[in-house]
A and B are shown apart, each in its own frame.
Chain A
Amino acid sequence: DTAVSQTPKYLVTQMGNDKSIKCEQNLGHDTMYWYKQDSKKFLKIMFSYNNKELIINETVPNRFSPKSPDKAHLNLHINSLELGDSAVYFCASRPTRTNEKLFFGSGTQLSVL
């Protein structure tokens, strides 16, 4: 009954490969996010979708492409992986209303070799 679930939990791959991370929430939330956490624990917003519409697209290389097939899913596809992409990626969701808390997935540890 996990509220926000991400797969895979660990992803080890070679430079230059293309990979995807999937995220699903069963909370009925309208808004979903991808955050990147670096080795120093700094969390940076990457993308946000509201009802399948992109509303935040921070300065992220265009090798990163989010896709939201429906409002319960937000997947992250990464092309031509680079060493600097190694990080923990967190999916999160919340109702559209502001002031509401974010519900986070447990993270995907991406290691690019």
Chain B
Amino acid sequence: GNSVTQMEGPVTLSEEAFLTINCTYTATGYPSLFWYVQYPGEGLQLLLKATKADDKGSNKGFEATYRKETTSFHLEKGSVQVSDSAVYFCALDNQAGTALIFGKGTTLSVSS
């Protein structure tokens, strides 16, 4: 079946540090891939997405590239801010395209 594996958190960084959150997936076919962000007390918001191999999604300084050969969609940001502190979820569309399957989430904490 389809599944998503994310690196365990929490990830603790200082402001302006480089961020990588690893995400790998298992799926048949070519699912669309997503990163969602959840700020404290809120629902999830789409951060970026990619719909085919080698696509790069980007938003707010974050980016991720759909790598079919390594079945990965790692999230990166060159310089994190305190306001980036949140929980980040990698997700894929299931085979039927009827639901998003989420990874377990990675908590990011950025200190000044």
Which residues of A are in contact with B by a Cβ distance under 8 Å? 4, 31, 33, 35, 40-45, 48, 50, 55-56, 90, 92, 98-99, 101-102, 104-107
- The 8 Å CB contact of A101, one of B34, B42, B89, B107, is B34
Are A102 and B98 in contact, with the CB atoms below 8 A? no
CA of A112 to CA of B99, assembled, Å: 28
**Interface residue ranges of B53-112 to A (CB < 8 Å):** 87, 89, 93, 97-102, 104-105, 107
Report B's interface with A, CB cutoff 8 A. 32, 34, 36, 38, 41-46, 49, 51, 87, 89, 93, 97-102, 104-105, 107
* CA of A53 to CA of B62, assembled, Å: 37
Decide yes or no: A56 and B98 within 8 Å by CB, A101-B49, A104-B43, A106-B42 being known contacts.
yes
Q: Is the CB of B93 within 8 A of A42?
A: no
Q: How far is the CA of A35 from the CA of B105 in the complex (A)?
A: 14
Contact sample, A vs B, 16 pairs, CB 8 Å cutoff: A4-B43, A40-B104, A41-B107, A42-B102, A44-B102, A45-B100, A90-B44, A92-B43, A99-B93, A99-B97, A101-B46, A102-B44, A102-B100, A104-B45, A106-B41, A107-B43
Known contacts A42-B105, A98-B93, A99-B32; is-contact A90 B98 (Cβ 8 Å): no
**Please, how many angstroms separate the alpha-carbon atoms of A56 and B111 in the complex?**
41
A-B CB contacts (within 8 Å), total count: 57
CB of A45 within 8 A of CB of B34, answer no
Q: Which of B42, B89, B97, B101 contacts A45 (CB under 8 A)?
A: B101
Q: Are B105 and A45 in contact (CB under 8 A)?
A: no
Q: A98 to B51, alpha carbons, bound, how many Å?
A: 10
Q: Are B98 and A55 in contact (CB under 8 A)?
A: yes
- List B contacts of A43 (CB < 8 A): 44, 89, 102, 105
